[in-house]
Amino acid sequence: MPDTEIVRHQSAEVAQFQEPTAMGMIAQAVQKGADVATIERLVALKERLDRTEAEKAFYEAKARLHAKLPQIEQSGVVLNKAGGVQSRYSKYEDIDMILRPLLAEEGFSLEFDSESQHDKLLMSGTLAHRQGHRETRRLPLPLDTSGAKNNIQGMGSTVSYGKRYLLGMLLNLVSKGQDDDGQGGKAQLLTQEQRDEVEFLIKETKAEPAKVLAWINAPSIAEIRQVDFKRVMDALRRKAAK
């Protein structure tokens, strides 16, 4: 038998023992004249397998991404009425500059959306992977009316604020250089916005409020201190990311 015939014969024998793909099974079923119900079951099987593969690729890429994520510098400041630093935060533009190339490298994209709900803005953030799997987090936020902001400025400030926190929820970002201005924040309690965020994450993660409060020695969410805010949010984000 010529060499080419031997190779062709061996290839045919190997093909007989290869596990058929879902697409191959569908093609075979169509060729053999299978009924519609059988083909529909095979198509449903293929869709489930595709979703499983997409989800696996998503979490593998996310694990690689987490290994590369640096801590984010807190270059933004919130001043109190006396002009002192009340709190610090990472600016969205700083986060975006760091994240954008890392997300692109692993095939991720980010999408944000918002809708008005009475006196609040419901924001959503979605982390999507090129193979199709995606995860979405939602955050209800009161409109920022601090200072002399008009409605448009308040909306823009709220959206920027929401994007930062949604990114933290989706990617478990950690801020660097937390500065409590000489520990002065120990006597300061959370703002209404911060309480809303803590309550939302407790509900989202199905955490037990009593355990969270006991962990930071606070009688209630309204009595959580500013100095403990980052600790609570980081812990809840880690829980949400699992």
Whether residue 149 is contained in a domain is answered as: yes
| Residue 115 contacts residue 173 (beta carbons within 8 Å) | no
- Let me know whether 144 and 75 are in one domain: yes
Are 101 and 165 in the same domain? yes
Q: Are strands 72-73 and 175-176 parallel, antiparallel or unpaired?
A: parallel
Residue with tokens 């397998």: 49
Is the domain of 42 the same as that of 75?
no
The reply to whether the predicted model has a pTM over 0.85 is no
State residue 133's pLDDT score: 95
Residue 114 lies in a domain: yes
- Same domain flag for 94 and 137: yes
- Contacts with 46 (C-beta within 8 Å, 6 or more apart), sequence order: 22, 23, 26
Segments forming the whole domain that contains residue 190: 185-242
Together in a domain, 162 and 204: no
40: in domain: yes
Number of domains in the chain: 3
Q: What is the pLDDT of residues 29-61, one digit of tens each?
A: 677 777 767 777 777 777 888 888 999 999 999
Residues 42 and 119 placed together within one structural domain of the fold: no
CB under 8 Å to 66, separation ≥6 — which residues? 171, 172
Per-residue model confidence as pLDDT tens digits over 107-141: 999 999 998 877 788 999 999 999 999 999 998 88
User: Residues 190, 171: one domain?
Assistant: no
Same domain, 91 and 26: no
**Count of helices and strands (H, E) across the chain:** 8, 7
DSSP per-residue string spanning 24-49: HHHHHHHHTT--HHHHHHHHHHHHHH
Give CA–CA dist 113/136, Å, rounded.
10
Residue 200 is assigned to a structural domain of this protein:
yes
User: Tokens standing for 28?
Assistant: 């075979």
The answer to the question of residue 61 being in a domain is no
Nearest-10 Cα torsion for 199, 70, 56, 27: 120
On whether residue 195 sits in a domain, the answer given is yes
Residues 232, 141, single domain; the answer is: no
What CATH code is carried by the domain that includes residue 173? 3.30.160
Question: Residues of the chain whose pLDDT is less than 50?
Answer: 1, 6-7, 9-18, 178-187
For residue 147, the model assigns a pLDDT of: 65
24 and 111 both lie in a single domain? no
Contact between 174 and 234 under an 8 Å Cβ cutoff? The reply is yes
Is 59 within the bounds of a domain?
A: no
Query: Tokens at residue 209, please?
Result: 């409020």
Report d(CA 121, CA 98) in Å as an integer.
Answer: 27
Predicted confidence at residue 126, as pLDDT, reads 96
- Domain's final residue, options 179, 213, 231: 179
Residues 152 and 90 in one domain: yes
pLDDT score for 10: 47
Separation of alpha carbons 155 and 163, rounded Å: 12
CA distance 30 to 225: 66
160 lies in the same domain as 84: yes
**Distance (Å, whole) CA 133 – CA 139:** 21
Provide the strand spans (E) within 6-107.
72-73, 76-79, 85-89
